[in-house]
Chains A and B, each alone.
Chain A
Amino acid sequence: MDFSFTEEQNKFRLEVRNFLEEEIGKGYWKPTCDAWIQGFDPEFTKRVAHKGWIGLTWPKEYGGHERSHIDRLILTEEMLRYGAPAACHWFGDRQVGGTILSFGSEDLKKEFLPRIVEGEAYFGLGMSEPGAGSDLASLQTRALEDGDYYVINGQKTWASCASFAQYFDVYVRTDSEAPKHRGISEFIVDAQSPGLSRIPMTDITGTEAWNDVFFDNVRVHKRYLVGEKNRGFYQVLNQLDYERSGMERLMGNYPLFDSIIQFAKDNKLSQQPVIRNKLAQLQIEFEVGRLLIYRVAFLMEEGRAPNWESAMSKAYSTEFEKHLAGVAMEVLGPYGQLTSSSKLVPLQGMALHSYLGSKGYSLQAGTTEILKNILAVRGLGLPSS
């Protein structure tokens, strides 16, 4: 065993930090909770692309950099530590690019991967539907073949920050006779396609967080089918394992962690045994979560797709994020209830935002209950319920 980073990895971390601190120093953006998913900044994404930090692990022939999964984890860890606005490229970089790489045709790889790497193709997800959440295989959006095209009709929902998406990675039913897991296919759909429309939804923090996405006879050429027809459900399981694998599940509200520790020190609250105990417990939980996530990256580096291990780390980590938000509110006492625009608000209202926003952390990308099912069945070999 060796828990250390190599000299190159440490140098890389420093390089990322220096870049991000310079960005903050120039006033380009401010560290913000949830910026990885809600911070849309095309210029930032271009600058990150210019550094060569998108598609870090992908093959060079598609514009990637063939670097390790540990390097990618270091990069994302620092982006999250600084609350950087990386939402434009996050989905493409984290999972859609990977799914195209694993399952897509050569044409699809050539069309999309270099553009993701250059920070020019932003992706949203079309998975959940009003009637298909945890039971994703029951989805009803349909695609019918019509010559060289598929015609899609239906509705997707909870598409995170989809207002900015230029493309959607959409799962639709292509065989309504087959068992429900075996009749689903994956498509890349241009968000500007005629018949596609979006309605934004506001979450309980007051932020535009999701979109309903409607498909009304949207025509998609066959070349945008990803992988095999009717194998989409198996592809989405794989993609979800990646979606759950990263540090954003632990560090989505990290800027609050730093801020509340500093606040406790500045206000001498940290001398109180109860507050010391609570903050130390958070630190312990954070470090354990970090180790669980590094384990996932280590497995990926060994050439294995993440599996129940990312279900474990995600279910664990979102509890940490919720715990952090709860402790921050307790430390602030009555001031915790003040909203970001209020007189006397501490920490720019970050604690309140995070407290409300964190309710969704254990729902997205697989609810904690589904993740525990996965861990129990795939990881521990318990019989399916």
Chain B
Amino acid sequence: MELTLTEEQEMLKKTARDFLTDKCPKSFVKQMEESKTGFSRELWEQMAQLGWMGVAFPGKYSGGDMNFLDLAVLLEEMGRACLPGPFFSTVVLGGLSILDFGREEQKQEYLPKIILGEKILTLAFTEPGYYNYDDRSVTVEAARSDGSYIISGTKLFVPDAHIADNLLCVAKTKPENGITIFLVDAKDPKIEYTVLETIAGDKLCEVVFDQMPVSEASILGRLNQGWSTVQKTIERAAVGKCCETVGNIQRVLEMTVDYAKERKQFDRPIGSFQAIQHYCADMATDVDGARFSTYRAAWMLSEGVPCTKEIAIAKAWTGKASQRVFALAHQIHGAIGATIEHDLHYYTRRAKAAELAFGDADFYREIVAREMGL
């Protein structure tokens, strides 16, 4: 048992924190929220130069030969900085899925470009309706037609699809009714995008496929057997979101404690009042619980050991814990924290989006129940 970061990870963390403090101030976050694309090509290229996209990929694809735990450290720092842009979509949803499930020629074709910052990817999975993250929710069809497939239907809440070069599209293959993942060209004229306006100011899209033909060669993984691949991708994404949230709420705890030390009422810092102290103590406990459950899941993913239950515990805990943290952070900050001038709202809005993404606490409690044999 070893609960601290390695020297290498500490260095990665420090580099990331310094870089993002410099390049990603809240004025930049605001600008990206208001922009159409939601990301800066210049910053994207700088991140690629730092090797960030490649951290968890093997050297033979130009990756950094590190692992998911190292990526977790990076994601935590990105959450701390509220970094906008398609890093998560490209690396966690796109690149790692190709690494795990793609054919060698697909890896050769896509991974080096992803790692060098030349390609943006995302996952088109969820659809209109209220039963997501369940195989019944997939209704977009890929119908077989003369050795190729025709994709039709609507995907929803697809992050960064409007700027993506490629999409991993999860479709129901007809006539067999299996689930298959297609790695498709996102710029195909048969796809239409509408960027939705969201709480976090990130760019979630409606993606409409209008009879788009795709080749058999674009299948990622196995025909009709794609559901287990999707599940693994969702699980990994859930842990990734937890990492971002840990960075987010750690920062919010620090901001809140600092504020409680500075803000005076009744001639004393409000942090000297026990009511405020106990709120802060509760926040710290929630943050540490989120940190350890998240890093345990990330470590297990990294080691390749089965961890469906541990992932479910991390996501269920972290989602709910973040909501408790924000209730108290806002209460302690008082009215200033409810204004647009204060930075707190950047964190509040992102934590809510992360709680909803890739399964909420109810969803994962049911998984825990199954894992308990209930």
Q: Are B317 and A284 in contact (CB under 8 A)?
A: yes
* Separation of A279 and B274 alpha carbons in the complex (Å): 33
Contacts of A373 in B (CB 8 A): 274, 277-278, 281
Contacts of A265 in B (CB 8 A): 373-374
In the complex, chain B residues 96-137 whose Cβ is within 8 Å of any chain A Cβ = none
Chain A interface mostly: helix
B288, B299, B313: the one contacting A312 at CB < 8 Å is B288
Q: Are B292 and A292 in contact (CB under 8 A)?
A: yes
Mark contacts of A251-273 with chain B using CB atoms, 8 A cut-off: 1 yes-contact digit, 0 otherwise.
Answer: 00000000001001100001000
Q: Which of A5, A261, A377, A382 has the most C-beta atoms of chain B within 10 angstroms of its own C-beta?
A: A382
Q: Are B288 and A292 in contact (CB under 8 A)?
A: yes
Is A237 close to B, CB under 8 A? Answer: no
Q: Are B374 and A312 in contact (CB under 8 A)?
A: no
Q: Given A1-B3, A287-B313, are A280 and B374 neighbors across the interface (CB < 8 Å)?
A: yes
Is A316 close to B, CB under 8 A? Answer: yes
Mark contacts of A342-385 with chain B using CB atoms, 8 A cut-off: 1 yes-contact digit, 0 otherwise.
Answer: 00000000000000000000000000010111011101111111
Q: Are B293 and A375 in contact (CB under 8 A)?
A: no
Is B269 close to A, CB under 8 A? Answer: yes
Contacts of A375 in B (CB 8 A): 281, 284-285
Mark contacts of A276-297 with chain B using CB atoms, 8 A cut-off: 1 yes-contact digit, 0 otherwise.
Answer: 1101110110011001101100
Q: Given A3-B300, A284-B317, A369-B274, are A376 and B1 neighbors across the interface (CB < 8 Å)?
A: no
Q: Given A295-B288, A295-B292, are A382 and B272 neighbors across the interface (CB < 8 Å)?
A: yes
Is B365 close to A, CB under 8 A? Answer: yes
Smallest Cβ-Cβ distance to A287: which chain B residue: B313
* Separation of A265 and B261 alpha carbons in the complex (Å): 50
A2, A5, A281, A369: the one contacting B278 at CB < 8 Å is A369
Is A70 close to B, CB under 8 A? Answer: yes
Is B221 close to A, CB under 8 A? Answer: no
* Separation of A382 and B273 alpha carbons in the complex (Å): 9
Q: Given A1-B69, A261-B372, are A382 and B257 neighbors across the interface (CB < 8 Å)?
A: yes
| Chain B residues touching A, range | 35 or more
* Separation of A254 and B145 alpha carbons in the complex (Å): 59
Contacts of A312 in B (CB 8 A): 281, 284-285, 288
| Minimum distance in angstroms from A16 CB to a CB of chain B | 17
Q: Are B289 and A280 in contact (CB under 8 A)?
A: no
Q: Are B4 and A380 in contact (CB under 8 A)?
A: no
Is A4 close to B, CB under 8 A? Answer: yes
Q: Given A276-B366, A280-B365, are A288 and B317 neighbors across the interface (CB < 8 Å)?
A: yes
Contacts of B271 in A (CB 8 A): 376, 382-383
Contacts of B268 in A (CB 8 A): 383
In the complex, chain A residues 285-333 whose Cβ is within 8 Å of any chain B Cβ = 287-288, 291-292, 294-295, 298, 301, 312, 315-316
B260, B295, B365: the one contacting A284 at CB < 8 Å is B365
Q: Are B295 and A380 in contact (CB under 8 A)?
A: no
Q: Are B365 and A281 in contact (CB under 8 A)?
A: yes
| Minimum distance in angstroms from B274 CB to a CB of chain A | 5
Q: Are B284 and A288 in contact (CB under 8 A)?
A: no
* Separation of A16 and B368 alpha carbons in the complex (Å): 27
Q: Are A2 and B299 in contact (CB under 8 A)?
A: yes
A264, A277, A281, A291: the one contacting B292 at CB < 8 Å is A291
Is B282 close to A, CB under 8 A? Answer: yes
Q: Are A385 and B5 in contact (CB under 8 A)?
A: no
Smallest Cβ-Cβ distance to B295: which chain A residue: A1
- Which 4 A-B pairs have CB atoms at the shortest separation, nearest pair first? A376-B277, A372-B281, A291-B292, A270-B374
B residues whose Cβ falls under 8 Å from a Cβ of A: 1-5, 69, 257, 260-261, 268-269, 271-274, 276-278, 280-282, 284-285, 288-289, 292-293, 295-296, 299-300, 303, 310, 313, 316-317, 362, 365-366, 368-369, 372-374
In the assembled complex, 7 residue pairs joining A and B whose CB atoms fall closer than 8 Å, in A order, are A4-B303, A280-B368, A283-B372, A287-B313, A380-B280, A382-B271, A382-B272
Q: A295-B288, A298-B1, A312-B288 are in contact. List 10 more A-B contacts (CB 8 A).
A: A280-B316, A281-B316, A283-B313, A287-B293, A291-B293, A292-B292, A315-B285, A372-B282, A373-B281, A376-B277
A residues whose Cβ falls under 8 Å from a Cβ of B: 1-5, 70, 261, 264-265, 270, 276-277, 279-281, 283-284, 287-288, 291-292, 294-295, 298, 301, 312, 315-316, 369, 371-373, 375-377, 379-385
